[in-house]
Structure 1
Amino acid sequence: MSVPRFLTLNTGCRFPTLGLGTYMLQGDVLKQTLDFALFLGYRHIDTAASYENETEIGEVLGDRIQAGKLSRKDVFITTKIPSTCLRKSDTLESAHKSLSQLKMKNVDMLLIHHPWGQVKRKEGENAPLINNSTGKREIEKVDFIETWTALESLFKDDFTKNIGLSNFTIGQIQRVLSAAQIPPANVQLECHAYYQQQKLKAFCDSNDIALSAYAPIGAVNRPDIHKHNTENLTEDPLIIELSEKYEKTPAQILLNFLLCRGFAVLPKSSSPGRLEENFNALSFELSEEDIKKICTLDRGVRFYNFLYIHHHPEFFENEEF
């Protein structure tokens, strides 16, 4: 038995369940990583305007398509509107710039990256402005319904085949659903064995919204700004025990757990061996009994706490997002 390779979105589009996360990957390292991932069979690529790597991704995909090694219709590209571009005009400008850098006529998924509006450092950049006296990011109070309206117009104009949200709480998703002409097709969030997002998963399932998980293995190599704890999922005794039982790596057990729960997963690695290992998480299926065992590990541990934006009125620390 193996897990499904695709989910069906509420638009009817096929959504590959295993994708390549590209956060913090840039330049030649990203190009080599992406080229090898496509060779292995990855067909879901996750990026964002704020990752500053859309140009490299566009170059690799363009080269493969031109060489006849890849068809555009067979690869699913997700990108995101940064939190410094939540006003409608900025959202539209950001989306057009992303398409230009990716060298695409459209993307497959366009997400609002965060609901927490921030002030741009300067025009033409996505980087947020930091207050020199407080050290905090300058927030901008933008109603993300305005942003959603912009995404709907991009959807109608075929700039994107699907639209969705990232790092939104249940309450914030409900606000979008209540105002939307076009409902979100996808919500992307942190999810793993220590932070299982049970309530959010049930809410999205009931509203026919697919979920994709970043940091599914625990994001060991995340930036220092997010290293507020040192827990390591791959060293958990139960995960190691199951790794030995199934003759799979701890990372494959962690990915398969989420795949069995109906998530798409977005692991990130630049190591050829790890890329192949992660891809092969599709090749088996945990038993229901062992899935229940992993469910007992849920302990509310986030690896990305976004401490720098806790002062924003749309940040709700005690809610799942």
Structure 2
Amino acid sequence: MKYIKLHNGASMPAVGFGTWQAGEQELEAALESALEAGYRHIDTAYVYDNERAVGRVLARWLSSGRVARDELFVVTKLPPTGNRADRVDKYLARSLENLRLEHVDLYLVHVPFGFQERGDELHPAAEDGSILAELDTDHASLWKAMERQVAAGRARAIGLSNFNEAQLGRLLAGAEVPPACLQVEMHLYLQQRPLRAFCEARGIALCAYSPLGSRGTSKLLGKELPDLMGDPAVKEAAASHGRSPAQVLLRFAVQSGVAVIPKSTNPARIRENIQVFDFELTDEEMTRLADLDRGPAGRIVDFTFLKGIDKHPEFPF
């Protein structure tokens, strides 16, 4: 395993296990396979509605001594309904209870826009299906509440997800504890070069979600998604190294200094996805793959599956 150093001194494993769109039953089995394969970076979120499954598996491994707590790097995220300063304590407390942990290693603001709180609904919507948004999301006060989680010991580090460069800049201007990590969509066709340069200059680690293209989310997103693993340059590099196209895509990101959190529930693929540290892409291969960047046109997850959210003042795209 390779590690990415965070500004708080913690080491984040460069390959983690993603859990988006994994139901509790299938996730328990998949996470068992992931831990057996050597994963120690586990990424979940309150809004994924599967933290309890993660907690059950981690409790079994911790109580049996198969893993120590300081070997794990557990990440979860504040839901959009929690994007107010006076709700952060409550939602992190719920996540810690679900995960059966006293602290998380990294707590992220999941998205820069907020939802209205209506009971325990994750995606409160009006009769026409449009999201009930809170249009006065205040990142400055929200971040102060996130900083308090570090002071209280409930989160070892805090960070952001899906924020753009302008939003990051505004938040950094008033932050006492800077974001340790930014998690965004990043893959061969969306390499996020300006955002990466901005974060690297400020010591913010990058973590890529959907590093393989998330073709399994095509139905949710309502569109046909590109086949990154079928790209000729990827297939050629895979053949050259005797590796799978998925391993080439993950290696490209890791070799670029970015952490990845691929998601799979297939034990063979779970094992394959972490086996990217015993080969290296050549400079020529890295250049050829870098040239495939499509910029913003390569974005897959634009959150427009949340009806009307693109009208929010803090919609990041």
Same fold (TM over 0.5): yes
| Partner residue of 2:6 out of 1, 5, 9 | 9
Name the counterpart of 2:151: 156
Q: Is the 8 A contact 1:50 1:126 kept in 2?
A: no
Superposition map of 1:209-288 within 5 A: 209-222=204-217, 224-288=219-283
Identity %: 36
Say yes or no: does 1:94 pair with 2:91: yes
Say yes or no: does 1:112 pair with 2:100: no
Say yes or no: does 1:138 pair with 2:132: yes
Say yes or no: does 1:55 pair with 2:52: yes
Identify if the C-alpha distance between structure 1 residues 126 and 152 changes in structure 2 by more than 3 Å, giving closer, same or farther: farther
1:26 offset after TM fit, Å? 2.2
Q: Is the 8 A contact 2:42 2:73 kept in 1?
A: yes
Name the counterpart of 1:71: 68
CA distance, structure 2, for counterparts of residue 147 and residue 229 of structure 1: 36
CA distance, structure 2, for counterparts of residue 59 and residue 316 of structure 1: 34
Letter in 1 for 2:181: N
Deviation string 1:115-135 (CA, Å, 9 cap, x unpaired) is: 011113x22x141221214x3
Say yes or no: does 1:35 pair with 2:22: no
CA distance, structure 2, for counterparts of residue 281 and residue 247 of structure 1: 12
1:102 offset after TM fit, Å? 0.7
Q: Is the 8 A contact 2:213 2:225 kept in 1?
A: no
Letter in 2 for 1:37: A
Deviation string 1:60-107 (CA, Å, 9 cap, x unpaired) is: 111111111110100100000011111112111000110111111100
Name the counterpart of 1:103: 100
Name the counterpart of 2:174: 179
CA distance, structure 1, for counterparts of residue 160 and residue 121 of structure 2: 18
Taking only aligned residues, the RMSD between alpha carbons, in angstroms, comes to 1.1
Name the counterpart of 2:20: 23
SS at match of 1:281: coil
TM-score, with structure 2 as normaliser: 0.96
Q: Is the 8 A contact 2:112 2:316 kept in 1?
A: no
TM-score, with structure 1 as normaliser: 0.94
SS at match of 2:12: strand
Letter in 2 for 1:85: G
1:223 offset after TM fit, Å? 5.4
Letter in 2 for 1:76: F
Q: Is the 8 A contact 1:196 1:298 kept in 2?
A: yes
Q: Is the 8 A contact 2:218 2:224 kept in 1?
A: no
1:305 offset after TM fit, Å? 1.4
1:285 offset after TM fit, Å? 1.4
1:228 offset after TM fit, Å? 2.3
Name the counterpart of 1:314: 314
Letter in 1 for 2:200: D
1:230 offset after TM fit, Å? 2.8
Q: Is the 8 A contact 1:85 1:126 kept in 2?
A: no
**Which 4+ residue blocks in structure 1 deviate beyond 4 angstroms?**
none
CA distance, structure 2, for counterparts of residue 150 and residue 248 of structure 1: 45
CA distance, structure 2, for counterparts of residue 82 and residue 126 of structure 1: 11
1:173 offset after TM fit, Å? 0.7
CA distance, structure 1, for counterparts of residue 76 and residue 223 of structure 2: 27
CA distance, structure 2, for counterparts of residue 189 and residue 197 of structure 1: 9
